Chains A and B, each alone.
Chain A
Amino acid sequence: MTKPQTIEPEGEWGALSSLPGNPLMWVLIISELLVFGAFFLGFGVARVLHPDLFRAGQAMLDIRLGGLNTLILVTSGWLAAKAVQARAHGDVAVSRRWAAGAMALGVAFLVVKGVEYADKAAHGIGIETDTFFTLFFLMTGFHAMHVIMGLVLLAIVAWKNSLENMETGAAFWHMVDLIWLILFPIVYLVR
């Protein structure tokens, strides 16, 4: 005789249950923030060890391109939040349109990043140029891979458009936004 299946009670995730969306996505968000946080602090320590190298490297970055990408990403985050809002009100078609807008800006972010990388390559700068550019390409490249993953996730949740799916996909996208909001000042602005 098989044991009857029980319905999991509310609050199965403990403290995580009070967070909006899928609790596992929050586990991922916290993990990613800790990983990137360690990366960023490593970047800060490397700056202490090689201050002149970092000054020279940062002087070769284009603040305007970094700023443009920040504006693109925060606007994309707003569109993703609107997609969740529309889905919460049962409007699947409108939710998909907002998500498509968020994805279009995500692609624009990658295009700007590509322009920036191409410019560096044209000047003979690569990942092995020096410690600063190794960290620059690793941090921004790792973040760009998360943007690509976020685009895939947004496409999936726009297609399979339940409220929980949309909340979860948008949460990943906001996490990518959040990481950039810390990466941008420490790499481009604080010099």
Chain B
Amino acid sequence: MTIPDANAATSRRLLRAWALLVGLTVISLTVSLGFGQAETGLAAAAISLTASYFKASAVLDHFLDLRRAGKGWRGFFSTMLVVLLGGLMATYVAAG
């Protein structure tokens, strides 16, 4: 791959990551606003937090370029996100 090709490929990858972030944000907003200003419900909470996981992963992999690091680092950050978002989902369920 030539340097201009590699540059164009990076541009496309970054643009796709941005589009994914915008798309997932719009989905989260639609799901939550669909339930008005009251409670969102379990399904909407799960969708919002799952979207958050994929958005955070996209920022790490593409904007922070973590995909260049080894599997160990990607696994570390992924585990950190799962524990945090899973813990937050658990507290939401516990709050009833």
Contacts and interface: CB of A to CB of B under 8 A. Distances in A.
A interface, over-half SS:
helix
A59 B63 contact: no
A182 B85 contact: yes
A40 B84 contact: yes
Most buried by A among B10, B17, B28, B51: B28
Interface stretch (A74-82, A108-116, A130-138, A150-158): A74-82
Given A19-B69, A171-B64, A78 B17 contact: yes
A19 B66 contact: yes
Contacts, number: 136
A82 B15 CA distance: 9
A43 to B, nearest CB: 8
Interface string A15-36: 1001111000000010001000
B95 A47 contact: yes
A55 interface: yes
A176 to B, nearest CB: 10
A140 interface: no
Interface residues of B, number: 52
Nearest to A77: B63
Contacts of B17: 78, 81
A185 B52 contact: yes
Contacts of A177: 59, 63
A40 B62 contact: no
Given A44-B87, A74-B22, A185-B49, A81 B28 contact: no
Interface in A79-133: 80-82, 85, 89
21 contacts: A15-B73, A19-B66, A20-B66, A20-B68, A44-B88, A44-B91, A59-B37, A74-B21, A78-B17, A78-B18, A85-B14, A174-B59, A174-B64, A177-B63, A182-B56, A186-B49, A188-B32, A189-B48, A190-B44, A190-B49, A191-B39
Interface of B: 3, 7, 10-11, 14-15, 17-18, 21-22, 25, 28-29, 31-33, 37-40, 44-45, 48-49, 51-52, 55-56, 59-60, 62-66, 68-70, 72-73, 80-81, 84-85, 87-88, 90-92, 94-96
Interface of A: 15, 18-21, 29, 33, 37, 40-41, 44-45, 47-48, 51, 54-55, 59, 63-64, 67, 70-71, 74-75, 77-78, 80-82, 85, 89, 170-171, 174-175, 177-178, 181-182, 184-186, 188-191
